[in-house]
Amino acid sequence: MKLYCLSGHPTLPCNVLKFKSTTIMLDCGLDMTSTLNFLPLPLVQSPRLSNLPGWSLKDGNAFLDKELKECSGHVFVDSVPEFCLPETELIDLSTVDVILISNYHCMMALPYITEHTGFTGTVYATEPTLQIGRLLMEELVNFIERVPKAQSASLWKNKDIQRLLPSPLKDAVEVSTWRRCYTMQEVNSALSKIQLVGYSQKIELFGAVQVTPLSSGYALGSSNWIIQSHYEKVSYVSGSSLLTTHPQPMDQASLKNSDVLILTGLTQIPTANPDGMVGEFCSNLALTVRNGGNVLVPCYPSGVIYDLLECLYQYIDSAGLSNVPFYFISPVANSSLEFSQIFAEWLCHNKQSKVYLPEPPFPHAELIQTNKLKHYPSIHGDFSNDFRQPCVVFTGHPSLRFGDVVHFMELWGKSSLNTVIFTEPDFSYLEALAPYQPLAMKCIYCPIDTRLNFIQVSKLLKEVQPLHVVCPEQYTQPPPAQSHRMDLLIDCQPPAMSYRRAEVLALPFKRRYEKIEIMPELADSLVPLEIKPGISLAAVSAVLHTKDNKHVLQPPPRPAQSTSGKKRKRASDDVPDCKVLKPLLSGSIPVEQFVQTLEKHGFSDVKVEDTAKGHIVLLQEAETLIQIEEDSTHIICDNDETLRVRLRDLVLKFLQKF
Amino acid sequence: MPEIRVTPLGAGQDVGRSCILVSIAGKNVMLDCGMHMGFNDDRRFPDFSYITQNGRLTDFLDCVIISHFHLDHCGALPYFSEMVGYDGPIYMTHPTQAICPILLEDYRKIAVDKKGEANFFTSQMIKDCMKKVVAVHLHQTVQVDDELEIKAYYAGHVLGAAMFQIKVGSESVVYTGDYNMTPDRHLGAAWIDKCRPNLLITESTYATTIRDSKRCRERDFLKKVHETVERGGKVLIPVFALGRAQELCILLETFWERMNLKVPIYFSTGLTEKANHYYKLFITWTNQKIRKTFVQRNMFEFKHIKAFDRAFADNPGPMVVFATPGMLHAGQSLQIFRKWAGNEKNMVIMPGYCVQGTVGHKILSGQRKLEMEGRQVLEVKMQVEYMSFSAHADAKGIMQLVGQAEPESVLLVHGEAKKMEFLKQKIEQEFRVNCYMPANGETVTLPTSPSIPVGISLGLLKQEMAQGLLPEAKKPRLLHGTLIMKDSNLRLVSSEQALKELGLAEHQLRFTCRVHLHDTRKEQETAMRVHSHLKSILKDHCVQHLPDGSVTVESILIQAAAHSEDPGTKVLLVSWTYQDEELGSYLTSLLKKGLPQAPS
């Protein structure tokens, strides 16, 4: 069993597991941090951005100044932003049988894999994962396509040139494989390959392997996966949470007794407490608005935003913010808010019971009804008429490289009254802000990452006791910025096996058994023999049938009826099939009893001689000699088949057959 | 002999009071717990004393499954769990769990408040009963205990309706509840995979009907409603608050919009608003089209349909009223019916099945003079129309489902005996499987022969499979091994491994036979002749002449020796182990016949 590691990003994994005869891709994450190297795509032409100076080499050579621009000491690529794909060369992706998706953030590379590698398999995901994943992709495509950029930079990617560039461009990996965003057509085609599954649904793959999604507690419809056969079990844990937010709680018990547990998607901010961050978020927001400033919250259109809106719902009145408009701007804002209300079955118990009343599970329905929260597809259109300041705007993209957020950064960046609050943990906020420097607005960093932290992981591992743990290498050492924090890594016995991008791991697995079914007729014919207390043995001779990876044992065929001489027999017809083996024998033969038995059966001239290792029983008249030792019996006789068979059966009476 | 036993306590050759007991591999499951609309006495609930006379039902049932929220499938649940006494798990889908208590409360109110029945279950009992419910997702495998598992499939019919697979080891039963094989305006079609259960228990409400296309029925319905209101008549459509009502509302709403009609449409019960809300929140359970467009337009927000007030019934002029309940057996629909029945301009449209004994059933069977309470006789002059909108599978649909699931046998419930008889024959002919239709209290017993799962050591399996790939393996080959049974753990390993694991030594049994041959030549030459003789006969076997002069056939050793007394005789020593018994025995008898004359 092997694990091919196609992504080096610990929270946006993409691994391929070869298990028995199946090839299973686990998640399809897209590393979007590559976009931080690009200039933002403004919705409205920005003089500041278009007047940034071109970058030139130290020796003054300016041949790259069309492609690279400089802003406050940082260099950016002036081009359509590109994404870092999972490895496509490590394994032939057309051989992948199925793709298992754990949550909507971990499927963003799906169109690249399903549409351009010859993939012909099936993708499994829950309904919320599909629907919200579709919204995320739709938003992404919309953000990029609505501001067409003529320029596509490629010179800088040349290896010899890349060496000369300043960091972080110099150190960017695999730049030659970076790709532009997919189209909506590719998204639709990719998503049409998804088959919907429910938690605890057992899905058979080719009769060889069974996969099951389990609730992971992190997002609407997010799952961990069990991949198992009858005797082996792999747990794939990706993006799980033990906090009580809106999703159904994590199913931990089903992860028990795993041979291998693959652990990805832990919190990216292990030192921050999500609850504290939410509190800080609210107080900073209130402070800014009270002082007459605007608040910008760069965010994804689904996920933590539901929790933030719920907190604000409880907080607004007590903080005296009832008259402040809240705007949610995204091409999929309406859909996201609507969809969140119809997945009752995937929500935590509290929210589920609201639906039984029947009331919408999320209070943002009420915020919308009372006009406190308004949503718009973009800053164009209705929004420009309704726009009132000071206000709070939720909008994407959290990278600050595209989407309506770019507009608000340009609009509000110059005033220190305004605040941008970062809640999404996927991008370094300093890097995200770099192309907007110098900046007067306040920047607050309240990353809310509800995924497992290292304390929770170590508790989880103690509880579910996997034989082996496999994880990205980042989790086996403290974070680079906090190298003294020896508590910020996975500590387990035996030590976790770590992987990095483009590595192939052989998983420590010893398959020893396989399931087989014994047909009832055969089972009836078995004669069990109790060998030791509680342990019985039965010799089995049966015909093996294998179909669709399922094995069945059927009773041996009855000896063919002799065709009563109608057909002329050839000599070779009588040759017995040597494959018809007799069972093994065990036990030993007590000489005295054996001799008595012989005498009882009419052998009168039995003589016994002792030898070094046992005895020799002589039947003088028949010129037959039987050597009996502890573990063997040898019958030496003339060619008298009747006699031999009689003796054989008498010997067998003392032995057990297996 | 293992067996599956099925006993209907209700819905056996009948519609109403669905309640079916299933015993499978030692587990007891009760499917549905309904009430009968045709009775007002003891017969309205299943007779649970069949399960046990004394003692709590919890000890006799492993779980209860409710297929959907219709009262003839869940109406006896609080009586069963709180008054008779059951504390085990009750499984149903989320929408059923949400809507079921509301309908139960409604039912209770009519029975206690309107009819003044005593000794009925209370509101608190409904609440306590619902606390025992465990909600299931579609396709989720729910482990009731270590052995018993259940799985829900989409059934159409009403919001949240499900079919259930009940499985223990390799034995399984599928219970369909009520289902619908054609998608309608708000729900999708039932679906099940080829799960090959030992038994499929299916409803058979429309066992003999093959319905024409839904479009035609819809057009007919709209035409009749339209004509009636055009001539100033009133249209009464008795429905149940949830289900058909929503489908017909969608239908009328779009028609009114298209035709720009102004005639008022009313919905009679306070439940409507709430009911529509459930549909909005559980929109993932509706059909593809509604789910796809719900963000732009929610089909359950009606513009033309308004709440009904009792006083409206006496308003002059045309109107359309949806009123509950659907079989005209009580409540508002019956009140309105009594008011409007005398006018031939009016029309009542029955969109669903009516149970025997209800007013709905009487007028549908042509009765025009009805005896009401207090010996009053009501003459029905209004037009009575029947439109089959109730979402049950018709004969074609039932056959389709049997084809999908491929059961080993079929059992019919929830239908009328005569019609069942017809369908039973059809199923037996077409699928060549046994089909049963027990009456209430009658038990059907099906013997099963489950195969036994064991673990086979991979070494043994791979060795066998590798040989299976060889071209010579056309004859069925035998696999030999030893089954080790320890506690409930069964493992099949090679005999050698079994002996080793148990610390037993192998006992080798060997035979050596002396075969005398007349041969004056030297021993070496005799051996060569034996070799070429055997080689010519045993084409499929490995026959070798070893350098030391002995001959082997597979692992059987043959040596030629001089006779101690007779130089014209050679002795062949044929030696084999017990495992080669057949071949060894065959060789001795073959050699005894002598060798063919060597060509000189």
Q: How confident is the model at residue A568 (pLDDT cuts 50, 70, 90)?
A: very low
Position A581 confidence tier, pLDDT thresholds 50, 70, 90: low
DSSP string, A141-168: HHHHHTS-------GGGSHHHHTTSPTT
Kindly state whether B492 is in contact with chain A, defined as any CB-CB distance less than 8 angstroms.
yes
Q: Chain B closest CA to A576's CA: distance in Å?
A: 6
Band the pLDDT of B270: cuts 50, 70, 90.
low
Q: Three-class SS of residue B236?
A: strand
CB proximity under 8 Å: B 266-295 to A: 274, 277-278, 280-284, 294-295
Amino acid identity, position B529: R
Residue of B291, B460, B478 to mutate for A, most A C-beta atoms under 10 A:
B478
CB B523 within 8 A of CB B561: yes
For residue A128, the chain B residues in CB contact (below 8 A) are none
Verify cis geometry, omega within 30 degrees of 0, for the bond prior to A42.
Answer: no
Q: Where do we find the tokens 């003589």?
A: A607
Number of CB atoms found within 10 A of residue B594's CB: 12
Residue-averaged pLDDT of chain A: 91
What are the φ and ψ backbone dihedral angles of B330, each rounded to 5 degrees? -170, -175
pLDDT digits (tens, 9 = 90+) for A288-302: 999 999 999 999 999
Q: What angle do CA B408, B413, B417 make, to 5 degrees?
A: 110
pLDDT band per the 50, 70, 90 thresholds, residue A366: very high
For the segment A251-262, the average pLDDT, to the nearest whole number, is: 96
Q: How far away is chain A from the Cα of B23, in angstroms, using its nearest Cα?
A: 20
CB contacts of B134 in chain A (<8 Å) are none
Average predicted confidence (pLDDT) for chain B = 89
What is the average pLDDT across A244-267?
Answer: 95
Across the range B307-312, mean pLDDT stands at 88
| Interface predicted TM-score of the whole assembly (ipTM), two decimals | 0.86
Residue B85 to residues A42, A527, B40, B271: CA-CA distances in angstroms? Answer: 68, 46, 22, 30
Q: Is the pLDDT of residue B469 over 80?
A: no
* Band (B274; pLDDT cuts 50, 70, 90): confident
Residue A556, pLDDT score: 83
pLDDT band at B418; cut points 50, 70, 90: very high
Partners of residue A223 in chain B, C-beta under 8 Å = none
d(CA A115, CA A81): 20
The answer to whether A550 touches A206, Cβ cutoff 8 Å, is: no
pLDDT at position A92: 95
Give the pLDDT confidence of B42-60 residue by residue, as tens digits.
Answer: 888 999 999 988 778 999 9
One-letter amino acid at B228 equals T
SS (H, E, C) A307-327: HHHHHHHHHCCCCCCCCCCEE
d(CA B458, CA B456): 6
- DSSP string for A534-561: TEEEEEEEEEEEEETTEEEEEPPPPPPP
Q: Tell whether the model's pLDDT for residue B311 goes beyond 70.
A: yes
pLDDT tens figures, A169-188: 988 888 988 999 999 999 99
pLDDT at B1: 65
Find the radius of gyration of the CA atoms of chain B.
37
CA B61 to each of CA B48, B51, B127: distance values in angstroms, whole numbers, following the listed order: 11, 9, 21
Residue A566 has pLDDT above 50, yes or no: no
End-to-end CA distance of chain A: 33
Reported as a pLDDT band with limits 50, 70 and 90, residue A563 is very low
pLDDT over 80 at B225, yes or no:
yes
Strand-pair partners of B168: B148, B171
Catalytic residue (one of B203, B218, B253, B385):
B203
Residue B129 scores a pLDDT above 80: yes
Residue predicted with more confidence, A421 or B44: A421
From the centroid of its chain, how far is CA A543? 39
Residue A532 to residue A537: CA distance in whole angstroms: 9
Q: What are the CA-CA distances from residue A190 to residues A14, A137, A222, A625, B543 (Å)?
A: 16, 11, 19, 79, 61
pLDDT above 90: percentage of residues in chain B: 50
The per-residue pLDDT for B347 is 95
pLDDT confidence of residue B272: 67
Reported as a single tens digit per residue, the pLDDT across A135-180 is 999 999 999 999 988 778 888 998 888 988 888 898 888 898 899 9
Does residue B406 carry a catalytic annotation?
A: no
Percent of chain A with pLDDT over 90: 65
Task: From chain B, pick out residues whose CB is under 8 angstroms from the CB of A553.
Answer: 479, 492
pLDDT at A208: 87
Tell me the torsion sign for CA atoms A270, A276, A282, A287.
Answer: negative
CA-nearest residue to A201 within chain B is: B140
For B102, the 3-state DSSP assignment is helix
In total, the C-beta contacts within 8 angstroms joining chain A to chain B are 271
pLDDT at A564 over 50: no
Confidence of residue B582 (pLDDT cuts 50, 70, 90): confident
**Mean pLDDT across B394-410:** 95
3-state secondary structure of A33: helix
Summarize pLDDT for B65-79 with one digit per residue, the tens: 999 999 999 999 999
